[in-house]
Amino acid sequence: MTNQGRVVVVTGASAGIGRAVAREFAGTGDRVALIARGRAGVDAAASDVTRRGGTPLAVHADVTDFDQVDAAATRVEDEFGPIDVWVNAAFATVFANFEDIEADEFRRATEVSYLGFVHGTMAALHRMKPRNRGTIVQVGSALGMRSVPLQSAYCGAKHAVNGFTESLRTELMHDHSDVHVTVVQMPGVNTPQFSWVRSRLPRHPRPVAPVYQPEIAARAVRYAADHPRHKQYWVGASTVATILGQRVMPALLDRYLARTGVSSQQTDDRTGHRDGNLFTPLDDEPGADHGAHGEFDAQSLAVSPAWWLRSHARALVVTGAAAAGMAGVAAARR
């Protein structure tokens, strides 16, 4: 790493987890390239990076278009130098029963939330592989391991991200490459998506509790970038419980989610249908920045004991071993 820090690219950097990730890397002095559609959002994210001590580069691009993504990567390397870390975080979706989703809506959600990750990974890998170094971090979800009702498009895309990333990982291992790819599986996070998502629900969509603040997700992404040899990371006790539950009793979870999954993803507010940001960004005009947080601050957790334990596991093992050794020496003396 140079004195200027790493070169980090974040897609979906205009809001939500991507915005928080950009701030997190900026806090360590990195040069952060921000890729997103919404001009007001990505420009505000660039200001955040500057305030946090990083160097920003705002790039307006649609991740569904590989040529735009590849051109963005070229611009980043022309201005910042070789890319060290690429974070795929962009997504768009529609909240609705599957039978209420139009074919073009499902296609668009898949193109952003799955093919957007493929395009970002391709652009990064084309540059990292010849240099034999670099890290790609996929922002995944517990819903990519265990699907829920009302989110067929999103869950399908996140499952697909896991599948193609696993295949790529084994190819890199076969080639003995020092390019690494890892996935960070997220819990419900308080982001603006629930205010600007396309919805055909009768009530306002919400994340499934417990809800975590995006800064927890961002810290996990940076940790994964620093420790990329691990296949995937599970963030939050709810993610751990969801994934383990799916492995042990998937049929029971089907019945449980059939009873509770629809109501638990809606508030009591009746908002009706809305177009959302599926095809057009809602943070493109001046003053339209939405930031990293959504509207559920009062219900969201700022800490995750489960993630703290996971991210400090090595230090805890070393400390425990040292304590046991000291206890053994003391016992021997006695």
**Any domain includes 334:** no
Per-residue model confidence (pLDDT) at position 167: 98
pTM for the whole structure: 0.91
Domain carrying residue 35: 7-303
Per the model's pLDDT, the better-predicted residue between 193 and 324 turns out to be 193
Q: What is the mean pLDDT of residues 196-207?
A: 94
Tens-place pLDDT, residues 155-191: 999 999 999 999 999 999 999 999 999 999 999 999 9
**Any domain includes 82:** yes
Per the model's pLDDT, the better-predicted residue between 308 and 27 turns out to be 27
Tokens read off for 17:
């987890």
Per-residue model confidence (pLDDT) at position 334: 57
**Any domain includes 318:** no
Please report, for the domain that includes residue 15, its CATH number.
Answer: 3.40.50.720
Q: What is the mean pLDDT of residues 199-208?
A: 94
- Give the Cα separation of 6 and 24 in Å (integer): 13
- Give the Cα separation of 97 and 155 in Å (integer): 13
> Torsions phi, psi of 136, nearest 5?
-115, 125
- Give the Cα separation of 201 and 125 in Å (integer): 39
Per-residue model confidence (pLDDT) at position 321: 44
Tens-place pLDDT, residues 73-88: 999 999 999 999 999 9
pLDDT higher than threshold 70 for residue 332: no
Going by C-alpha positions, the residue among 73, 180, 181 that lies closest to residue 132 is: 180
- Give the Cα separation of 33 and 51 in Å (integer): 15
**Any domain includes 331:** no
**Any domain includes 312:** no
Per-residue model confidence (pLDDT) at position 326: 53
Tens-place pLDDT, residues 92-102: 999 999 999 99
Tokens read off for 153:
């498009």
Q: What is the mean pLDDT of residues 129-136?
A: 98
Q: Catalytic residue positions?
A: 154
What total number of domains does the chain contain?
Answer: 1
Per-residue model confidence (pLDDT) at position 319: 46
pLDDT higher than threshold 70 for residue 35: yes
**Any domain includes 212:** yes
- Give the Cα separation of 242 and 254 in Å (integer): 12
Virtual torsion, Cα 111, 112, 113, 118, nearest 10 deg: 70
Yes or no: say if 89 and 18 are a contact pair by the CB < 8 Å rule.
Answer: yes
Per-residue model confidence (pLDDT) at position 314: 63
**Any domain includes 13:** yes
pLDDT higher than threshold 80 for residue 1: no
Q: How many residues does the chain have?
A: 334
**Any domain includes 317:** no
Yes or no: say if 135 and 84 are a contact pair by the CB < 8 Å rule.
Answer: yes
Per-residue model confidence (pLDDT) at position 160: 98
